[in-house]
Amino acid sequence: MMIDFHVHPLIDSIIDNEGILESVQKIFYWTNKPEPIDTLLSQMELAKIDKAVLLPIDCTTTYGCKLPSNEAVSKLVNEYPDKFVGFGSVDPHKKDAVKEISDVVESMGLRGLKLSPPLQKFSPNDFTLMSPIYKKIEELDVPVVIHSGMFWQFTEKLSISKPILFDEVALKHPNLKIVLSHFGFPWIWEATVVIMKHPNIYVDLANPFTTTPFEHFELIFNRILGKRVVESCIEKKILFGSCFPRIEIDKMVKALKRLPLEEKTINRIFSENAKTLLKM
C-alpha cells in the first residue's frame, strides 16, 4: 500500500460549495483552476497511490476562511473511504479549539490534525496558546501535521517554522506525534537532528521548493544528507507527500523512485512509516 501523506483537498466541488476560491488564490498564491475530484483520483491511480491523507487548514481568525472545512473533508472521506484518510484542522486562537479537536476526531472520525504556523499566525513553542491543543491531540493519540520550513506569506517571520522549535515542543509533549511537512526545507540538517533525537517526530517530503521534484530530492538525499545517513539514521521517520494540487503526484513518485536508495528504504517512505503512524 502506497500512501500520500500530504494532499490539499482543493477540488472544484468543495471550493465552489464553500465559496473559498478567492481565499485559496490569495492565501496559497495559487493561480490554477480548481481540479475536479476525478483529476485527483486519476493522479493517484497513475502514481499507484492507494490512499491520500487530506489536509485542510482552518484560517478563521487570520483570514476569515477554512481551506476547506472539516465537514467538507469528512464528506469526501465518506464518499471515497477506500481512497482517502481525512485529517481536520482547528484555529488555535478560538476559545473552543480544544473542544473542536475532540469533535473532529471523535464525532467526525477524522484521523489527525493539520496546523500551519504562518497561515494561522502562531509560534509552535508558544505554550500558553498551544499546550492545551497539544495535550488534547496527545490524549486522542492521533498525529498532527505541522508546516515547517519555507513559506510564501511575506508578512510572517520565517523563524516561526524552523524545525528546531519542535525540539522544545517534543520535550514538553513527548507523546505528541508530529509530522514536520516539507522536511523543514531549507533547514534539512536541523529537521534531521530533530527527528533523530525524538521518536515522536517525523518529516514528510511534500512540495519541492527547488526546481524539479527530482532535483529537489537529489539535493536533500544525495548532496545534503547522503545515502548512508538516510538509510542508517532516519529511514523510519520519513513519509512520502506530494502537496497536490501544487505538484503532480506522479512526478513526485517518479522522482523519489529515481534516487539510489535501498528498496526497503523506499518502501518505508511510501508505505510502512505512514501505516505505523496511522495504525493501519
Does residue 32 have a pLDDT over 80? no
Mean predicted confidence (pLDDT) in 117-145: 97
pLDDT of residue 85: 98
Q: Judge contact between 146 and 85, C-beta under 8 A.
A: no
CA distance 130 to 198: 19
Does residue 274 have a pLDDT over 90? yes
Q: Express as a percent the part of the chain with pLDDT over 70.
A: 100
Q: Name the residue with cell 499566525.
A: 121
Does residue 14 have a pLDDT over 90? no
CA distance 92 to 98: 8
pLDDT of residue 15: 83
pLDDT of residue 182: 97
pLDDT of residue 168: 98
3-state secondary structure of 84: strand
Q: What is the pLDDT of residues 149-207, one digit of tens each?
A: 988 877 888 999 999 999 999 999 999 999 999 999 999 999 999 999 999 999 999 98
CA distance 253 to 249: 6
Does residue 30 have a pLDDT over 80? no
Round the average pLDDT of the chain to a whole number and report it: 95
Q: Is 216 exposed, middle or buried (0-12, 13-18, 19+ CB in 10 A)?
A: buried
Read off the pLDDT band of 146 (50, 70, 90): very high
pLDDT of residue 17: 78
CA distance 33 to 11: 9
* pTM exceeds 0.85 for this model: yes
pLDDT of residue 16: 79
Does residue 212 have a pLDDT over 80? yes
pLDDT of residue 153: 79
> For residue 232, how many other CB atoms are within 10 A of its CB?
9
Q: Give the strand order in the sheet containing 84-86.
A: 3-7, 51-54, 84-86
CA angle 164, 166, 167 (to 5 degrees): 70
Query: In residues, how long is the chain?
Result: 280
Does residue 28 have a pLDDT over 80? no
CA distance 87 to 242: 16
Mean predicted confidence (pLDDT) in 6-15: 90
CA distance 225 to 55: 28
pLDDT of residue 149: 94
Q: What is the pLDDT of residues 34-43, one digit of tens each?
A: 889 999 999 9
CA angle 129, 132, 138 (to 5 degrees): 130
Q: What is the pLDDT of residues 37-61, one digit of tens each?
A: 999 999 999 999 999 999 999 999 9
Number of domains into which the chain is organized: 1
Question: What DSSP state is assigned to residue 166?
Answer: H
Does residue 137 have a pLDDT over 90? yes
Does residue 20 have a pLDDT over 90? no
CATH number at residue 140: 3.20.20.140
Q: Are strands 57-59 and 113-115 parallel, antiparallel or unpaired?
A: unpaired
Range of the domain at 136: 3-278
